[in-house]
Amino acid sequence: MKCMITKKKEKEGKSLAMHVSAVSIMMNLLLSVFKLAAGIFAHSGAMISDAVHSASDVFSSLVVIAGVHLADQKSDKEHPYGHDRMECVASIILSSMLMATGVVIGMTGIKNIFGRNGEPMAIPGVLALFAAVLSIAVKEWMYWYTKAAAKKINSGAVMADAWHHRSDALSSVGALVGIAGARMGAPVLDPVASIVICFFIAKAAIDIFRDAMDKMVDKSCDDETVQKMEEFAMSVIGVKRIDEIRTRMFGAKVYVDIEIAAEGKLELVRSHEIAEKVHLCIEEHFPDVKHCMVHVNPVIDMEDNDQICL
């Protein structure tokens, strides 16, 4: 029954991830085209840079779709633990794309400031200002919408896409400030905004990369989660103590290895029952746990211990 429920949740999670990515692609396509047109017609380099950032979101959503699809593949002979880490690979690709986008935008801003050879800077039009405000509203909504979905299905790749939306919203804020400043008599603020956008994008890229790498190198769960696992394990009748517990992130999933101590004189069947109850207790109370391995150590009385030594 638990296996059927888990498979149903995984199927629903994949479906939700695909739906969110499809919405992201549609919204980003429309927004990037509008911002690009506004940047060109309103003579705003900051808005053109912002449009490029939105266009990169389309590619990031495609990467998310590919990552979720690959991570959902069943275990096989070559990959007995499944393909969950493919989401981490997708997140790393996303971070690389973000960083490359940020570098290009930053270099363009620097070129517009120092490479004009005395040519006057154009004053951005009102259309660019309107496009920046619209972009902030849409991208902030997309951030919260995608973040909620990522938390629901515990997907690192979808969460990375959510932060991509947030970085785009922040870059639009920078564009808004730069365009407004340029219209008030400081044209240099328009390309300066592009450089500011570059740093926002770079920070998002680094955060996504660090999160993905933590999951790739088997980082353990946080102390609070481990403590709760120990409490649930100790609640099982027959468990005398917890000798050791180790956790490791495997993509969006968690593997748990726990050593419990039980009465040394118990029959093997009874010890196995206790271990099985601990196994089921951990997996039922922690949905992110893909598998819990339980080892039973005997609690030996002092008299028995003396006999063994003799």
As a whole number of angstroms, the distance between CA 216 and CA 133 comes to 38
Give the residue numbers spanning the domain of 107: 2-216
As a whole number of angstroms, the distance between CA 265 and CA 253 comes to 36
Instruction: Kindly state whether residues 200 and 162 are assigned to the same domain.
Output: yes
Instruction: Kindly state whether residues 101 and 235 are assigned to the same domain.
Output: no
Instruction: Kindly state whether residues 184 and 277 are assigned to the same domain.
Output: no
As a whole number of angstroms, the distance between CA 301 and CA 172 comes to 69
120 CB-side CA count, 13 A: 6
Report the range of poorest mean pLDDT among 9-18, 226-235, 251-260, 295-304.
9-18
Count of domains in the chain? 2
Evaluate whether 233 touches 278 at the Cβ level (below 8 Å). yes
Q: Which of 164, 197, 216 is the last residue of a domain?
A: 216
Confidence of residue 8 (pLDDT cuts 50, 70, 90): low
Residue type, 92: I
Instruction: Kindly state whether residues 120 and 151 are assigned to the same domain.
Output: yes
What CATH code is carried by the domain that includes residue 203?
A: 1.20.1510.10
Query: Tens digit of pLDDT for each residue in 39-74?
Result: 888 888 778 877 877 777 777 667 767 776 766 677
Residue 229 has pLDDT above 90, yes or no: yes
- pTM, full prediction: 0.57
Instruction: Kindly state whether residues 212 and 235 are assigned to the same domain.
Output: no
Query: Tens digit of pLDDT for each residue in 132-182?
Result: 899 899 989 989 998 888 888 777 767 877 877 887 787 788 778 888 888
Instruction: Kindly state whether residues 83 and 164 are assigned to the same domain.
Output: yes
From the list 233, 226, 213, the residue with the least C-alpha distance to 255 is 226
Instruction: Kindly state whether residues 204 and 230 are assigned to the same domain.
Output: no
Task: Determine the 3-state secondary structure of 295 from DSSP.
Answer: strand
Evaluate whether 296 touches 275 at the Cβ level (below 8 Å). yes
